[in-house]
Structure 1
Amino acid sequence: MVRGKGRQDRKSGTFGSVDRLPSGRYRAQYFGPDGRRYKAPTNFLTQQDARAFLSVVQADIIKKAWQPPGVEVAEEVKLTFEEYAERWIKERDLGDRTREDYRDWLDSHILPVLGRYPIGSIEESDIRLWYGKLNPDTPTLRARVYGLCTTIFNTALTDKKVPVHRNPCCIKGAGSAPRAKVIRPATLGELETIVMTLPPRFKLMALLATWCALRFGELTELRRSDIDLPRRRIYVRRGVVRLKSKTRGIPVRKVKSPKSDAGIRDVSIPPHLIPVIEDHLRDHVGAGLAALLFPSVTDDTEHLAPSTFSRHWYRACRVAGRWVEGDSDDPDGKDHADLTLHDLRHTGAVLAALTGATLKELMDRLGHSTPGAAMRYQHTANDRDTAIAVALSKFVEPESDIDDPGNGRATLRPARRPRPSGSGSRRRPRS
C-alpha cells in the first residue's frame, strides 16, 4: 500500500486519522490539545474499531479529562475544586496568619460558588462569572481572593494526578488592586506634635517607628536584650503576630521570626535617640534582659494590645491635624485618623533617602527582600521637586537667573533687559 494513502482517504471534518497498514490492520492517530501527534497504543482489526477509539479520545478532550499517553491517569477524574483546595491548604507551608486568611477567603468567597464543580471542568467563563459577583467595593480583598484561586490552579497544573491542563484564571489585572489609601508621610512638625501628645510610655514607639522604621509587631516584641546602646544597635529578631483565633475571648498572639531573612536585621540608632531610649529603659522597662520595652499596661509580661495603643494614637493624630471628619463622601462615614503608626515607616524612608541612602541600603534598613517592596515607601519630600527644577535649569543657563536660598523656595532674578539692536558702542575692526 502506498505510504500516506490512509491520510489521503481521510474524510473531511473527522477527528484524527485512520491508516491501513501493510499487515491489513488499522492505525489511529490524532493531534492532542498540546499540539503533538499521538498514536493509539494498539492497532485495530477494523476501521470501525479505530474510529471508535478516536471518538473516545475526542470525548475526553472535550470534557477536559484527556491525559497524554504514558502519563499516570488521574486517580479522581471527578475531583471537585473543594476537595483539591482542602488538600492544597493542608499540605501548604503557610504562616499562621496567612493560613487563617486563606481559610476565610476559601470558605466565604470561593468554595460556595466553585467548590462543587469538578476541578477539571472549570472554564474561564465560570471564573469570570464568579469574579463578577465578588464585591467591587473591596478591591484589595477581591484581588487577594482571585490571586488565591489562581495559585491553587497553578499548583494543580503541576500535579499529574489532577485533570487540569490550563489555568482558567485569565482575567487581566484581576490579581492586583490599586492602592486604596494614598499615604501622606508625617512631617517633622506633625511627628513632634504626636510624640509630645502621646503618654510617656508610648513616645519612644513613635520615634522608633519613624527613625528606625520598625513595625508594630517588631516594636511590641522588643526586649531589653535587643537594645545595644554602646554599639547603637537594635537587633530585630522576632515579631508578634495577632491571630484571628481567640482564647477566652482574647485574640491569640504568637511570637515568630520575620517572614523573610531580610526582616532579621541590625538597625542603627540615630544618635539623637540615645538619651530618649536611656530614659525609657530607666522609667518604663523592667530590670531583666527579657523585659518588654512596650508591655501591656496591666501586665508587664504580656504584649501590648493594639487597641490600647490606638486610643492614645487617635488623640495624638487629632491634635496634630491628621484627623478626617466623617461625611457622606467617606466610604465608612466615620471619623478616622489619616495616619497610622505603620505610616511613620514612610516618613523614615523619606528621611533616609534624603541622606543619600541607596535602594539596597533602604531595603536593609526597612527589612525588605525585594526592591518593589522598598519602593512603595519612597515619597517625594515637600521641597525636593522645587530643588530638582532649580538644578535642571543650571544645565542650560551658564549664568543662572534663579536664586535658591537653600530652603527649597526658589526665586527668579529680574530678567536682563535685552540691548536694542544697533545701540551702544561697537569695536572698530582691526586694520
Structure 2
Amino acid sequence: MTTTDTTDTERSDTPDQARTVVAASLIGTTIEWYDFFLFSTAASIVFPKLFFPAGNETVGTLLSFATFAVGFVARPIGGILFGHLGDRVGRKATLVATMALAGVATALIGVLPSYASIGIWAPLLLVLFRVLGGIALGGEWAGAVLMAVEYAPPGRRGLWGSSPQIGLGLGLALGTGAFALLGSAMDDEAFLDWGWRIAFLVSLLLVVVGLVVRLKVLETPAFRKMQEDADVARVPVVEVVRDAPSRRNLVLGLLARWAEGAAFNTWGVFVLTYAVMTVGMPRTGILVAVTIAGLASAAVVPLAGLLADRFGRRAVFAAGCAAFGVGVYPAFLGLGTGSLTVVVIVLVLMLGAVYGVQSGAESTLFAELFPTRTRYTGMSLVYQGSGIYASGLTPLILTSLLALAGGSPWLACGYLVLTAVISVVATRALRPVVDL
C-alpha cells in the first residue's frame, strides 16, 4: 500500500526559500554535469591524443573511453558514502561537499601534463581525478533531486523533481559548447596543446557561484521531521538491502534505468566519436549539434515533469524508454548521411525530445521508491549503480560492436533496442513505497 511520507504542514517554508531550493538544485547539478561532460567530450576528441601512447587511434579511443567508464565505477562508491551522510547528517551539508570535490578534481585535469611530458603518470593521474569526480557526482544527483522533491508542493512534485534534471542538459550544452567555442577560436594545434584546458579551469569559478547559492538553502522539511522523530537510519545501505519493498525496487530500478543511461551516452558521448571518426564529419559541427540537442533536452525536461504529475511517473518514463528503442535504427540511418542538418534533427529528436522525457520523469520516480530514512542512499544506488553498465560502458560497448561489425552500426543498434525492452518491462513492475 502507498503511504504518505511527508505532510503539507512540513512544507511550510517561505516561498523565497522554496525558490532558492530550486535554484540551488538547478545551478548545482548544471555545474556538476558541466564538469562531468567536459570529461566525456574530452575523452572523445582530446584525451586519446594527449594522455595515452601514440599509435593505433582506435586503441587510444578505447583506452580513453575505459577511463571515462572508471568514473561510473566510482559513482556507486560516492553514492554509498554521500548517501550515508545525506541520510544521517543531512542533504545540505552533503551537497556542499560533493560540489567542492567535483570542482577541484575537474580543475586538476585542466593542469595535468600530457603523456609526452610525464609518461605513464599522465593516464594514472587522469584516472585518479576521474575517480574523485565520479565519487563527487555519485553523491550529487540524489541529494539535488531530494532538495527539490522534499520541498515540492502536492501535485507539483514531478515538475519540481525534474528541475535538477534540467541541469543535465544545460551542463552538456555548456561542456560541448565550451569546446566548440574554443575549437573555432583557435587552430587544432593550439586547441590540443592548451585551449581545451581553459574549459576545465573555468569550473572553479562556477563552483564558487554554486556554493554561494547552495549555502543559503535550509535543510529539507522531510529530513528535519525525520530528525525530530529520531527516525534516522543507522546504516542506510543495510536497511535498503534488508527491507523487502526497497530491495525489490532497487533491483528493478537498476534495470529500469538501463535505457536512459544508454540513451544519453549514445547521443551525448558516443556520437562525437562516431560522427567524426566513422562518418567523417567535422568536430566543431558535431559539437554544435550536441550543444543544440542539450539545450532542447533542458527545455523538454520540465514538460516531462508536468506530464509525470498528470499521467504518473512510471507511464511517462516507460514511454520515453520505448520511444528510444523505436528510434534507434532510424537515428543511425540519419547519422550515416553525414549531413549536419540531418544530424542536428536526429539529435534534437533523440537527445532533446526522447531523452528529455526519460530524464524529466525519472528523478521523482526513483525518489518514490524509498522512505525518507533511506531515500538518499536508495536513489543513489539505483542511479549510480546502473551507471556502471548503462552509462559508463555504453561508449566502450558501442565502439567495440562497431569495430566487430566492420564499421556498420547495426549490432550497436540491436544492443540499444535490447536495453529499451528491459527498461520498459522493469519500469512497469516498479511499485512506489511512498507518495511524496
Same fold (TM over 0.5): no
- Greater radius of gyration (CA): 1
Greater helix share, 1 or 2? 2
User: TM-score, structure 2 length as denominator?
Assistant: 0.20
More contact order relative to length (CA 8 Å, sep ≥ 6): 2
Greater strand share, 1 or 2? 1
User: TM-score, structure 1 length as denominator?
Assistant: 0.20
